[in-house]
Structure 1
């Protein structure tokens, strides 16, 4: 599988990573999916301390322990479960980050984290304190690099200006092209986008509208009404035939040099293999990319702007 250098780091990550949130808590099944990903050439695995109360990190760490020096492990911090574990609060403080990283290291069965990401962020946060904590951990060798997971333009701009982050995780797909507005800024600063949600909750998979939830049927998806989706999705499939839908989706996201990796989730080996097939297909032509941009909406973020 092709790899890309992530931002200004020395992390070479497979163009498709494995988003581990949907692995579930069945350790044997999750391990089978992770090992299938390894066999396919995937070396980048993304988890978070929030997922399954830390159980996700434990499974990822245990499964990857024997190949630790061959993989890139990314996790996230900032969302703090309450004692009853029925809700969480936001805590980007330096003290909490330095405490949480120790817990993640233990669960991941490793002594360093390749990419440590702030799992959100607001302009009300003490951003300098948060950056200071990440820089301290980097100096200590506890983390190699850090990034943020945020779609808020005003937050992203502050971190680009003040920090040494190498990546920004953002929801990005043909149905959510909002990150394209920020690609020039990120590219100028040698920061890569890590694209989550590339198949738009399954709408850009071959099942298309079969994956539409009740909410999508009633309210649409972002800037698209359900009626628009009924018209658009078959048109995408038809005009780019014989390509598969998830092939179109993943290849479109990766056609942008500002993207370091795409991380679709996989809850089954079949789903993972379909994504690998899509990724290994021929890249989109300039004509195909132009057509896709013409058919879809180039939206922008309306909230959280300066």
Structure 2
């Protein structure tokens, strides 16, 4: 599988990354999925301290320890579980980020984190303090690079201006092209890459889209009406170029942007994981195919995510 550099970090990630939140908490199943990912050429693994109260990091670390020098491990911090563990609070302070990194390292049983990310962020955060935490962790050799996981253009702009971040993780797909207007241009100009999540848009950009249409239209792509979604998806499906598939178009479209480093997709079964890997291996889109997809779909604004 092809690899791309994360920002200017010198770290190279496979074009397909595994979103580890979906591997579950059963150790054997998680191990099977992680090893299948390795067999498929996936080298980028995304987790977070929030997932399953840290159990996800433990499972990822246990399986990947034997191939540590061959993989990129990305994790996140900023959300703190309450004592009751039924909700969490937000903490982007320097002290918390530095301590959270050390706790993640323990759970992962590794000496360093390849990409450490703020798991959200607002303009009300002590941004300079947060950046100091990342820079100190990097200087101490505990992380190799850092970034943020956010869809807020205002927050992204501040980190681009004030830090040396390498990467932004954000939702991006054919059906969610909001980043193309308000985030990706500034990232590409500054050598910051994107780890795109949600490439198949809640399953809409697969052959099973009809089963998911009504729910997804209300949930995650509400800038489309249901009739609009049906029209876009029907057009895509009926006109998929020879040798391509609908989900192949989905992955290759995202990877077609100059800022894209990797596409992070979850998988709860071996079959789903292998299908994602197959889709990513389809040929890069031609200019004509890329423009055709843009003509069919539409962009939108981050109306609800200004701060």
Scaled by the length of structure 2, the TM-score of the pair is: 0.96
| Counterpart in the other structure of 2:300 | 299
- Report deviation, 1:241: 4.1
CA distance in 2, matches of 1:103, 1:218: 38
Task: Show the 5 A alignment for 1:110-121.
Answer: 110-121=110-121
| Counterpart in the other structure of 2:211 | 210
Output one character per residue of 1:253-300: Cα deviation in whole Å (capped at 9) or x when no partner: 001111011001111110011011101111111111111000001223
Output one character per residue of 1:137-191: Cα deviation in whole Å (capped at 9) or x when no partner: 0000011110000011110011000001000011000010011122221111100
CA distance in 2, matches of 1:108, 1:263: 19
| Counterpart in the other structure of 1:25 | 25
Mean CA deviation greater in 223-232 or 127-136: 223-232
| Counterpart in the other structure of 1:145 | 145
| Counterpart in the other structure of 1:194 | 195
| Counterpart in the other structure of 1:126 | 126
Question: Does the CA-based 8 Å contact 2:50-2:79 persist in structure 1?
Answer: yes
| Structure 2 unmatched ranges of 5 or more | none
Displaced runs of 4+ in structure 1, greater than 6 A?
none
Question: Does the CA-based 8 Å contact 2:73-2:113 persist in structure 1?
Answer: yes
Q: State the superposition RMSD in angstroms.
A: 1.4
Question: Does the CA-based 8 Å contact 1:219-1:226 persist in structure 2?
Answer: no
| Structure 1 unmatched ranges of 5 or more | none
| Counterpart in the other structure of 2:250 | 249
| Counterpart in the other structure of 2:274 | 273
Question: Does the CA-based 8 Å contact 1:15-1:261 persist in structure 2?
Answer: yes
Q: How many residues align?
A: 305
2:80 paired with 1:80: yes
| Counterpart in the other structure of 1:36 | 36
Partner SS state of residue 264, structure 1: strand
CA distance in 2, matches of 1:301, 1:197: 16
CA distance in 1, matches of 2:27, 2:164: 35
Question: Does the CA-based 8 Å contact 2:112-2:144 persist in structure 1?
Answer: yes
Output one character per residue of 1:108-136: Cα deviation in whole Å (capped at 9) or x when no partner: 01011000000000000000000001101
Mean CA deviation greater in 227-236 or 157-166: 227-236
| Counterpart in the other structure of 1:55 | 55
